[in-house]
């Protein structure tokens, strides 16, 4: 085979390989485009389904749940007595006890007047909500600490100590200590515009504890 013929053969082979690579590359591009179109269609379908579900009216089955919750609040209020307030807040059934019942101003020592209401709350926690997690949260108003600055660094510190005092009393009444979480919010989770109402300790009844 002459040198010229060899060059022709090599050129033909190179052109054939280039054509094959170009065709394969175009096939890959088409496959990628098909996948992108399929993914886009799927995303659009999911978004339409989400919008459809969000636009659906709330089912009637939610009404009895609200009624049950109201009945539970009413029943629990009668059990804990007039010195506590029962309400649903932050998705928790909560029992709030104002600090006028539980503590003197600037103090984290429980008053005698707190014992009866805390005994009632402890009985409810042990009997009706045994096995649940309990969240004991201390709250204050937004007035800065003045009389007891030597004892408490801040309102949050005071609220934490008050929540812990309530926790220790409830534990002394038989509430399992392992089921209790203690937190102090200070002035940062107000219940209302009233300073007197904001000074409180709340007992929130949470989820069942998994063993």
Q: In what order do the strands lie in the sheet with 180-186?
A: 85-89, 92-98, 200-208, 132-139, 180-186
* pLDDT cut 70: percent of the chain above it: 70
pLDDT band at 69 (very low <50, low <70, confident <90, very high): confident
Q: What is the pLDDT of residue 102?
A: 96
Flag whether pLDDT at 3 surpasses 80. Answer: no
**What are the domain boundaries of the chain?**
1-56, 62-208
Q: Quick one: tokens of 10?
A: 């090599």
* 131: nearest Cα among 96, 178, 93, 86: 178
In whole angstroms, give the CA distance from residue 14 to residue 60. Answer: 73
Q: What is the pLDDT of residue 60?
A: 35
Q: How confident is the model over 80-109, as pLDDT tens digits?
A: 999 999 999 988 999 999 999 999 999 999
* 174: nearest Cα among 207, 126, 137: 126
Give the residue with greater pLDDT, 67 vs 206: 206
- pTM, two decimals, is 0.69
Flag whether pLDDT at 143 surpasses 70. Answer: yes
Which CATH architecture group holds 62-208? 2-Layer Sandwich (3.30)
Q: What is the pLDDT of residue 31?
A: 72
Q: What is the pLDDT of residue 89?
A: 92
Q: How many CA atoms lie within 13 A of 80 on its CB side?
A: 26
Flag whether pLDDT at 130 surpasses 90. Answer: yes
Q: How confident is the model over 31-49, as pLDDT tens digits?
A: 766 665 665 665 555 455 5
């Amino acid at each position: 085979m002459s040198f010229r013929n060899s060059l022709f053969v090599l050129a033909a082979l190179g052109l054939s390989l280039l054509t094959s690579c170009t065709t394969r590359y175009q096939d890959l591009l088409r496959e990628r485009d098909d996948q992108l179109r399929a993914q886009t269609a799927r995303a659009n379908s999911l978004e339409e389904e989400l919008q459809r579900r969000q636009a659906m009216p709330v089912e009637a089955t939610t009404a009895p749940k609200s009624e049950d919750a109201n009945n539970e609040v009413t029943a629990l209020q009668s059990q804990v007595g007039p010195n506590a307030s029962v309400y649903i807040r932050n998705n928790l059934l909560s029992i709030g006890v104002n600090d006028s019942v539980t503590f003197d101003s600037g103090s984290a020592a429980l008053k005698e007047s707190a014992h009866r209401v805390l005994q009632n709350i402890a009985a409810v926690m042990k009997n009706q909500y045994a096995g649940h997690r309990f969240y004991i949260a201390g709250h204050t108003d937004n007035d800065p600490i003045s009389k007891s600055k030597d004892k408490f660094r801040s309102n949050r510190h005071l609220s934490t100590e008050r929540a812990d005092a309530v926790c220790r009393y409830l534990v002394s009444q038989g509430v399992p200590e392992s089921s209790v979480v203690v937190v102090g919010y200070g002035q940062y989770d107000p219940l209302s515009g009233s300073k007197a109402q904001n000074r409180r300790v709340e007992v929130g009844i949470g989820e069942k504890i998994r063993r």
